[in-house]
Amino acid sequence: MRPAPRWLKLGLSAVLGLLLLWQGWYLGWVLWWKWANPGTTSFQSQRLDEARLKNPKAELKRQWVTYEKISVHLKRAVVAAEDDKFVDHEGFDWEGIQKAIEKNQKKGKVVAGGSTISQQLAKNLLLSPTKSVLRKAEEAIITVWIELLWDKRRILEVYLNVVEGRTQLILGRMGGAEVP
């Protein structure tokens, strides 16, 4: 058997090097956001671009709410609704993923997801809403870093402040006050 040509070795080394640089870029952001609050997330930037197609003057307005000022009821409700095993797992709910796979196979299409709060956060912070195996792999890597480097309190604080949907609407209406 002949050894691989030099150009192939160099090409594979270059691809591996670029992949490591790309992952390092993500890791750098995860490290930074351990202490600094994220400005605009990938999802927010995409949604703002979409809004500006309809209205060029569209702006993103949001206010960061610290963990202490977020209602304990909201925190509990979001964990119960989105990821009831949040405090016990290390980023992945394997049982939830298995149930989602079974449900999707039964229906013949994707009708359920098994993403945890940490996975949703990883996707919203740095990735796109597209559905692909590559994006899911990136999400898994970023999720591992978030779980290794942040505590659950920080994960939930950032999640409640940046993930799209009802949570931001509720936080915006609350203005950081406790829900009665």
Q: Is the pTM of this model over 0.85?
A: no
Would you state the pLDDT for residue 6? Answer: 83
How much helix, strand and coil, in percent to the nearest 5, is found in the chain? 65, 0, 35
Give the pLDDT confidence of 78-135 residue by residue, as tens digits. Answer: 999 999 999 999 999 999 888 888 888 888 877 677 789 999 999 999 998 888 888 8
pLDDT on residue 165:
56
| Amino acid present at 65 | V
pLDDT at 131: 81
Using alpha carbons, list the distances in angstroms from residue 141 to 71, 87, 175. 30, 19, 33
With 60 as the cut, is the pLDDT of residue 67 above it?
yes
Q: Is residue 48 over pLDDT 90? A: no
CA-based end-to-end distance of the chain: 74
Per the CB < 8 A criterion, the answer to whether 143 and 37 are in contact is no
- Contact indicator for 147, 90 with CB cutoff of 8 Å: yes
Backbone angles phi, psi at 68, to 5 degrees: -65, -30
To the nearest 10°, report the CA torsion of 171, 174, 178, 180.
-120
Q: Supply the DSSP symbol for 70.
A: S
CA distances (Å), 126 to each of 30, 40, 108, 162, in order?
9, 10, 30, 11
Residue 37 pLDDT > 90, yes or no? yes
Q: pLDDT, tens digit, for every residue of 7-26? A: 887 888 888 888 888 888 99
| Residue 168 confidence (pLDDT) | 46
* CATH numbers and ranges of domains, the chain: 7-174 (1.10.3810)
Contact 136, 173 (CB under 8 A): no
Q: What tens digit of pLDDT does each residue of 141-151 get?
A: 999 999 999 99
Which is more confidently placed, 165 or 5?
A: 5
